[in-house]
A and B are shown apart, each in its own frame.
Chain A
């Protein structure tokens, strides 16, 4: 093993660190890093002025705002109701539970275009739901709200499927202990259960958000693509490409990429920070006796 590898790795009984790390790097490069750097490289065809003009165009800005706003809204809705659904599916036994449980995966399986068309049909003026919402002044199809609905739909499984195993592993005795100490159900939920579930909820939220940011198929149907109002960045990119304006398309994509990366990085840091409070100290405690013995 090279001296460099020897220095960056802590001793382990599992062999093949060099080989597996090498393969991991190669794989990540081929699948993620090289395509993305090619993307960034492509933007260098533009001058700074052209780049800036493209990404600060009011139409582009409106698209960014819609995409991030609707994705966050959708992920937040899923965080609340997805958690609730996961809780119900794990904790209660009722007729039709398995069917309901299987239905959670449908947004995974359904082609997003089909989902988009279905949702649009449902929410247009004459749709099953639209006909009751429209008179109330609530416009869903061909409006920003429709984008939120579509992104909520496709993000739901992420929150539910992340939380289910964690809720299943939740120690019932914790709830019994809290109750025996005089805590009411709502206090137990707030002070004992939610803190236990929080890391998994954050993971589910992140996955749903990431999925929503990249969504295209379902949104283009329900949004109606009204210029400067319900357009999303992926749509603008396609339009630029159809005009053979590859430089502008990549410019929009690069900003989307960086913003998404920063957002996900922030959530990861938040997760690391909340986990660190209980784990970091434990790790130092575990390591120190053995280090002393060496």
Chain B
């Protein structure tokens, strides 16, 4: 089922949680709403679910080209998964999953046997058949969230909505569960939207990523598109660590931070406009000697070599902090120690001028 959101706004008092948001989601897609807290991503999800009403004078929400504005969450046919699971504590896992089927009007309610079969199938899908008779308080966080997912799927929703589904779990479980969610989605192909503030999670799991800030959509694209072609400084900043260098002109020479660049290429006819260069830590190359590339000198302040990437914190001669990442084996072969002086040259950089991209 496709979802079309047209010019939806939502105010809480004078605060605009959503400001003229439009978004198209295709049937069977897995879309991530990504943004910092307060960006409106959860509000957008709740508006899609029908848990929140958009402003009365704002646009429409269409499910499969049908306006669902006057349908409440009860009849909208969405499955909703909450960050804190919202399982019914007094019911067993089985009863939790069966709830959506049991509360149907009796004409549409499946027989007891059908309910049992459906629930067992769903519990098998989330790999928790053996916990059917436990109570939620006896489950781990990851198990709870999988039960919540099975419960949401039991009513055969046309749309699955997940609000920070892994937000309350610890890092390792989170990693496992998001890969599992991706496989599950490939299996059942229900149109899914999930909210997250974790860029890594969004990039790893989603077909498309919707990046939000201050109640607006900033960029929509595949993970590869948004990561490699960020629309503006905000997206660049939000999707991972980045070094920011302020551009400046000094007596005809152009600098980004400590780095001298060709002034004609970057500053022609843009005089007076603030330009900034963004370079990801892995896009900086570190050498112990000058190698002819444009580079600047910096001192090694801190080294973190735990993991496949060695992370270096450098300080340029002007006192600017620079973060660099390099493969661990290259780091070892170079033999850099704390306090050494190194030469840093960029392999790639993006320059944003106000909101204008070069």
Q: Verify if A177 is at the interface (C-beta below 8 Å from B).
A: yes
Q: Is the CB of B78 within 8 A of A180?
A: yes
CA distance A57 to B73 in the complex (A): 63
Closest chain-A Cβ to B335's Cβ sits at a distance in Å of 44
CA distance A24 to B32 in the complex (A): 58
Give A184 to B100 CA distance when docked, in angstroms.
11
Partner of A282, one of B74, B138, B152, B154: B138
Bound-state Cα–Cα, A22 to B95, Å: 46
* Chain A residues in 8 Å Cβ range of B151: 177, 181
Binding stretch for chain A, among B86-94, B181-189, B285-293, B303-311 = B86-94
B135 touches A282 (CB 8 A): yes
The total of chain A residues at the interface (CB under 8 A) is 23
Contacts of B87 in A (CB 8 A): 177
Binding site secondary structure of chain A: helix
A182:B86 contact, CB within 8 angstroms: no
**Other-chain contact of A180, B73, B88, B90 (Cβ < 8 Å):** B73
Q: Which residues 118-148 in B have Cβ within 8 Å of A in the complex?
A: 134-135, 137-138, 148
Shortest CB distance B206–A (Å): 22
CB contacts (< 8 Å) of A31 on chain B: these are: none
Tell whether, in the assembled complex, residue A182 and residue B90 are in contact, meaning their CB atoms are under 8 Å apart. no
Number of interface residues of B (CB under 8 A): 29
Residues of A within 8 A of B99 (CB): 178, 181, 183, 191
Residue of B nearest to A175 (CB): B86
Asked whether A281 lies within 8 Å of B103 as measured between CB atoms, the reply is: no
CB-contacts of A142-187 with B (<8 A): 171, 173-174, 176-184, 187
Task: Judge if B79 is at the interface, Cβ distance under 8 Å.
Answer: yes
B135 touches A281 (CB 8 A): yes
Asked whether B253 is an interface residue with its Cβ less than 8 Å from the other chain, the reply is: no
* B302 / chain A contacts, CB cutoff of 8 Å: none
CA distance A158 to B72 in the complex (A): 37
- B190 CB to closest chain A CB (Å) equals 14
Docked pose: A176 CA to B103 CA in angstroms: 14
Q: Which of A180, A191, A196 has the most CB of B within 10 A?
A: A180
Distance in angstroms from B119 CB to nearest chain A CB is 13
Other-chain contact of A192, B75, B88, B104, B134 (Cβ < 8 Å): B88
Interface residue B1 (Cβ < 8 Å from any Cβ of A): no
Instruction: Establish whether residues B137 and A174, one from each chain, have CB atoms under 8 Å apart when the complex forms.
Output: no
Indicate if B274 sits at the interface (CB-CB under 8 A).
no
Partner of B103, one of A174, A191, A279, A282: A191
Q: Which residues of A contact B148 (CB under 8 A)?
A: 177
A287 within 8 A of B: no
B:30-87 near A, CB below 8 Å: 49, 51, 72-75, 78-80, 82, 84, 86-87
Say if the beta carbon of B155 comes within 8 Å of chain A.
yes
A285 lies within 8 A of B138 (CB): yes
CA distance A178 to B87 in the complex (A): 9
Binding site for A on B (CB under 8 A): 49, 51, 72-75, 78-80, 82, 84, 86-90, 99-100, 103-104, 134-135, 137-138, 148, 151-152, 154-155
22 A-B pairs with C-beta separation under 8 A? A173-B84, A173-B86, A174-B88, A176-B51, A176-B80, A177-B80, A178-B103, A180-B51, A180-B79, A180-B80, A181-B151, A181-B152, A181-B154, A182-B104, A184-B74, A187-B103, A196-B90, A277-B90, A277-B135, A279-B137, A281-B134, A281-B138
Given contacts A176-B51, A180-B152, 12 further A-B contacts (CB under 8 A): A171-B86, A174-B86, A177-B88, A178-B88, A180-B73, A182-B104, A183-B103, A195-B90, A196-B90, A281-B135, A282-B137, A285-B138
